[in-house]
Every structure is written in C-alpha cells, then in structure tokens.
Chains A and B, each alone.
Chain A
Amino acid sequence: DTGVSQDPRHKITKRGQNVTFRCDPISEHNRLYWYRQTLGQGPEFLTYFQNEAQLEKSRLLSDRFSAERPKGSFSTLEIQRTEQGDSAMYLCASSPRDRARYEQYFGPGTRLTVT
C-alpha cells in the first residue's frame, strides 16, 4: 500500500485561470475527503465522497469549486477562475471501509499559489 497520493505537489497559477488537482486514495478506502489549509490554521473541510457519491459539500465552498470521483477511486478537485484567496494547501484524505472510527489518512497535499 503506497498511501494517499496527490498531484501536483505544487501549482502556481495566475488569477482567473482554472486548475485541477488529483487525489489517489489508499486502495479499497471507500471514503474520500478534500480539505483546505492555510498558514496557521487547521484543515478546513471542503467535501466528502463515499464511493462515487458526493455526500456533503461545505457551505464555504463557492460555485467555482467542483469535485468528482467518477468511478469511486481517484478524485479531482477543480477550481475555476482562481482568486488570490484560493492560495492554500489542498489536502486529500481517505478512510477505510466499514470503520466507525473515522480515521483519515492524508496525502502530502497540493500547494496552490495564485498570483
């Protein structure tokens, strides 16, 4: 098991551009989460999938953000028309099937810088 992977690790983009991040969870983990983290803060919940179904989306997430998990395996997070306030670390985590303890295993994150 290679753990949760994320790609790219770093992304620099100009304001107004679209960006897409990918997350590959631990195999057989049916739950997948996206979080955003800024300096000095803990991770902030963005959205959650169980298999391919998106079950919850944060009210803090604007319409410029969309996430998919088409086959219940990898997931993508897209940000359209990026703004400087979108600069943050975007973290993906997965959680094992049938575990009531809600332990989440995180990837290394994608650092987004919007100039």
Chain B
Amino acid sequence: TQLLEQSPQFLSIQEGENLTVYCNSSSVFSSLQWYRQEPGEGPVLLVTVVTGGEVKKLKRLTFQFGDARKDSSLHITAAQPGDTGLYLCAGTHINTNAGKSTFGDGTTLTVKP
C-alpha cells in the first residue's frame, strides 16, 4: 500500500505566526501536489513539484520537495485567517500509471484572528 502520511493532523495558531506541515511516504513520487480544501468544497490545487530538492514559492507559502522525492513540506509565513482550511498532499508514485493519485488525510489548519 502506498501511503501518504501528513502531520500534524490538526494545527491551531494565531494570526501572524509561521507554520510548517509535512507529507511523508516510504515510496518515491514522480510528482506531488498540494491542495487546499474548504468545508463543502472540492480541493483547490496550490502547486505541483516534480524535481527532488525543488522549492516553490506562492506568496507566503513555500513548498519543498525532498531530495529523494519521498517527502514534502509546506511552510506558511505570517499566517492569516484566510489560510484556514484543510491542506492535502497527493502524489503519483513512480510505479503507478497516470491515473492514480494517492492523497494524505490532510492537515486541518485554523488561524485565529
């Protein structure tokens, strides 16, 4: 079974704080995506990483792909209440076909004003 483990499961912080959430697997990914999901809605794609060691920045969000392409992290600087949501990582493992992405169970982030 190709599992993606996300940590922490829940995170509650004050506005202005920094945070990092993690996505780990024992398997190698060909690509990994981060999504943000709000209650009652579908996930919204934030970023895709494909190269080991890759770092991508999206405003206050920084995404890093591990050198071995087995793990990833999402760092948010100066969190805002609008960042509140469920952050999901999803990966396509190197040995699977184009159709199947495996999702983690997400990190639920709450940013208090």
**A111: chain B residues within 8 A (beta carbon):** 40
Q: Which of B14-22, B58-66, B71-79, B91-99 contacts A (4 or more CB under 8 A)?
A: B91-99
A63 part of interface (Cβ distance < 8 Å): no
Binary flags per residue of B39-59, CB closer than 8 Å to A gives 1, else 0: 011111100101000000000
Q: How far is the CB of B36 from chain A (nearest CB, A)?
A: 11
| Cβ-based interface call for A71 (8 A) | no
Question: Does A28 lie at the interface of the complex (its beta carbon under 8 Å from any beta carbon of B)?
Answer: no
Selected contact of B42 from candidates A40, A55, A109, CB within 8 Å: A109
Q: Please report the total number of A residues contacting B with Cβ < 8 Å.
A: 28
Write the nearest CB–CB distance from A68 to chain B, whole angstroms: 16
Contact between A48 and B45, CB atoms less than 8 A apart:
no
- Does A104 lie within 8 Å of B99, measured CB to CB? no
Listed in ascending order, the chain B residues whose CB lies under 8 Å from chain A are 4, 30-31, 33, 35, 40-45, 48, 50, 88, 90, 92, 97-106
Contacts from A to B (Cβ < 8 Å): 4, 6, 31, 33, 35, 40-45, 48, 50, 55-56, 91, 93, 100-109, 111
